[in-house]
Chains A and B, each alone.
Chain A
Amino acid sequence: MKLDYTLRLADDALIMGHRLGEWCGHGPILEQDIALTNTSLDHLGRARSLYQYAAEQFNQLPTENKIKAFSSVALQETILAGKNLDEDDLAFLRDGWDFRNHLLVEQPNNDWAYTIARSFFYDTFNYYFFSELIHSSDESLAAIAEKSLKEVTYHLRWSSEWVVRLGDGTDESHAKIQYAVDELWMYTGELFVMNETDKETLRQGIGADLNKIQPLWLDRVKAIFEEATLNIPAGKWMQQGGKEGRHSENLGYILAELQFMQRAYPGMEW
């Protein structure tokens, strides 16, 4: 359960970092290009710490559990050869149905408004989530949470400022950010769904209570939207499945690029 939990956090960080990295060189303002890359690097750094920790947990499992854990042939071969997994094996050799990230983070960049709305929802979640996770009984997760909280506090300030700037800016920017918020809203519900992994890790004192985080998240979103003169979307229907490995079509394409080198040239040092 802890492994599944760690992987979800790692997958979220990797996919978000990957998405933001797609902006590099294409930003609307040079300073903002740099800011987005910074954030992308924070996510990737967190992904690495979490994958390293996940690999450490995985390598201690009995062989029969290891074989059952992931479906990709490349990973099964590595495991059958008796090799330990590392951060790159977990990131580059798992297939989409073994990824546990939220649907929100795999949504495409589309335009600056989409990217900002996606970041804002995720950063707000991260802020309250890591504020809880620093109290985890698991020392490694608590330590990663502590470092992440500092970064995420900055991310949240940045994306909140942009939500306000776009909402309050011109008619065009207002319409664009409202549209993006409306479109992405249905991916925010999943952030607070307590699945088996969440329940079990919470019971063990390892994981965070998402029910506690949800009202805090909503209050913050409402406050920023008020400043930005944006409406909370009316839609109540929420998509879910990412945490269980049922993803949108986007993830497959992300992985096709992300994993290309390791797939074409397996088992090499880079």
Chain B
Amino acid sequence: MSVQSFQEHFDSLIDREVTIEPKDWMPNDYRKTLIRQISQHAHSEIIGMLPEGNWITRAPSLRRKSVLLAKIQDEAGHGLYLYSAAETLGVTRDSLYDQLHSGKAKYSSIFNYPTITWADMGAIGWLVDGAAIMNQVPLCRTSYGPYARAMVRVCKEESFHQRQGFEIMLTLSKGTDVQHKMAQDAFNRWWWPSLMMFGPPDAESPHTEQSVRWRIKRMTNDELRQKFIDVTVEQAKVLGLEVPDKDLKWNEERGHYDFGPINWDEFWNVVKGNGPCNKQRLETRKKAWENGQWVRDAAMAHAEKRKARKAEAAKAA
């Protein structure tokens, strides 16, 4: 087949909503876009372990401590499936780590905010995982098979995390005055960064159109953001918490909530590395990686020695 007919075959698979598998021909841009998106997602899972990991040693009860650890472990697992999905596109996990550590690859900016109180564990579960689910559920039907299958598992666990986060917030907001205050404070700090998680407005989003066509993305940033706001405002009412947006108002005509302006200047600054924890998060990961080098070397050396000994024994027999 000529490149042109490969392209036609690929386009017809896309149009018929048939999944693309690792061995199928795919346009270079498609492969590149997927590697970028999947690895960004994987990095977000790994970096995302850190803000919550910050509270493992201080969780307020044994049950909360166990649940938090299990949740962060799930995130490590998500990172693992996603790196594996990216590897089917012909990149290695180590090369993706290099891109993360050198600052070339991005991860979700939300993880550059600090976790200051225990209520942040609730707010992250409720809002950040809630926003992640909005973003990710459509990807369970994305065109690339390994990515779609990874996302099915990820989404199942994320929705469990979101319920746990909501439950932490509910316990706090229905608790003592100071607990309620803690919950509101966390909500105030995490609300706007959560809205930014859907990315820049559609008019300024360079990748959207092509990605929608490839079903790498299935809804636009603004559509997803609106959907998240509509759902979350109702949940805040159940929690008895106040949405920190004085412009928030139900719009009967649109059938949606209107909301105040998002501080995109802050967003772009955090993306560029000026967030409160950008340096710290990346340094922590780099340190873990560098401190682990001798461990990985040892594991490799041992595996090779074992193989050699086995071969030797087979020869002798």
| CB 8 Å contact bits of B138-153 with A (1 = contact, 0 = none) | 0000000000000000
A87 to B76, CA, bound (A): 29
User: Do A24 and B69 touch (CB < 8 A)?
Assistant: yes
Nearest chain A CB to B116 CB, angstrom units: 13
A34 partner, pick from B62, B76, B176, beta carbons under 8 A: B76
Chain A 103-130 residues near chain B, CB threshold 8 A? 111-112
Nearest chain B CB to A185 CB, angstrom units: 21
User: Do B69 and A25 touch (CB < 8 A)?
Assistant: no
Which stretch from A1-9, A165-173, A200-208, A236-244 is at the chain B interface? A165-173
A41 to B74, CA, bound (A): 12
Nearest chain B CB to A52 CB, angstrom units: 9
User: Do A30 and B76 touch (CB < 8 A)?
Assistant: yes
Which stretch from A43-51, A140-148, A213-221 is at the chain B interface? A43-51
Chain A 13-44 residues near chain B, CB threshold 8 A? 14, 18, 21-22, 24-34, 37-38, 40-41, 44
In the complex, whether A133 has a CB less than 8 A from a CB of chain B is no
A16 to B288, CA, bound (A): 21
A119 to B53, CA, bound (A): 21
A214 to B101, CA, bound (A): 46
Nearest chain A CB to B157 CB, angstrom units: 13
A165 to B174, CA, bound (A): 51
In the complex, whether B305 has a CB less than 8 A from a CB of chain A is yes
A47 to B49, CA, bound (A): 24
> Main SS of the interface on chain A?
helix
Nearest chain A CB to B12 CB, angstrom units: 38
Once A268-B175, A269-B175 are accepted as A-B contacts, the answer to whether A27 and B292 lie under 8 Å apart by CB is yes
User: Do B56 and A88 touch (CB < 8 A)?
Assistant: no
B294 partner, pick from A18, A37, A172, beta carbons under 8 A: A172
In the complex, whether A262 has a CB less than 8 A from a CB of chain B is yes
Specify which chain B residues have a CB less than 8 angstroms from the CB of A265 in the assembled complex. 60, 176, 178-179
In the complex, whether A260 has a CB less than 8 A from a CB of chain B is yes
Which stretch from B33-41, B126-134, B189-197, B295-303 is at the chain A interface? B295-303
User: Do B58 and A25 touch (CB < 8 A)?
Assistant: no
Specify which chain B residues have a CB less than 8 angstroms from the CB of A48 in the assembled complex. 62-63, 66
In the complex, whether B28 has a CB less than 8 A from a CB of chain A is no
User: Do A25 and B171 touch (CB < 8 A)?
Assistant: no
User: Do A173 and B295 touch (CB < 8 A)?
Assistant: yes
Once A88-B61, A169-B298 are accepted as A-B contacts, the answer to whether A31 and B80 lie under 8 Å apart by CB is yes
In the complex, whether A61 has a CB less than 8 A from a CB of chain B is no
In the complex, whether B155 has a CB less than 8 A from a CB of chain A is no
In the complex, whether B100 has a CB less than 8 A from a CB of chain A is no
**A28, A51, A166 — which one has the most chain B CB atoms within 10 A of its CB?**
A28
Q: Which residue of A lies closest to B47 (CB)?
A: A25
User: Do A37 and B69 touch (CB < 8 A)?
Assistant: yes
Specify which chain B residues have a CB less than 8 angstroms from the CB of A41 in the assembled complex. 66, 69-70, 73
Once A24-B73, A265-B179 are accepted as A-B contacts, the answer to whether A34 and B80 lie under 8 Å apart by CB is yes
Q: Which residue of B lies closest to A169 (CB)?
A: B298
Enumerate 19 A-B pairs (CB-CB under 8 Å) in ascending A order.
A24-B49, A24-B56, A26-B284, A27-B292, A29-B299, A32-B295, A33-B76, A34-B77, A37-B73, A45-B66, A88-B62, A164-B302, A165-B299, A172-B297, A173-B297, A176-B294, A258-B58, A261-B118, A262-B61
Mark A residues whose CB is within 8 Å of B.
14, 18, 21-22, 24-34, 37-38, 40-41, 44-45, 47-48, 51, 87-88, 91-92, 111-112, 164-166, 168-170, 172-173, 176, 257-258, 260-262, 265, 268-270
Give the top 3 A-B pairs by smallest Cβ distance, nearest first.
A28-B292, A169-B298, A173-B298
In the complex, given contacts A111-B291, A168-B301, what are 4 additional A-B residue pairs having Cβ atoms less than 8 angstroms apart? A33-B76, A165-B299, A169-B298, A170-B297
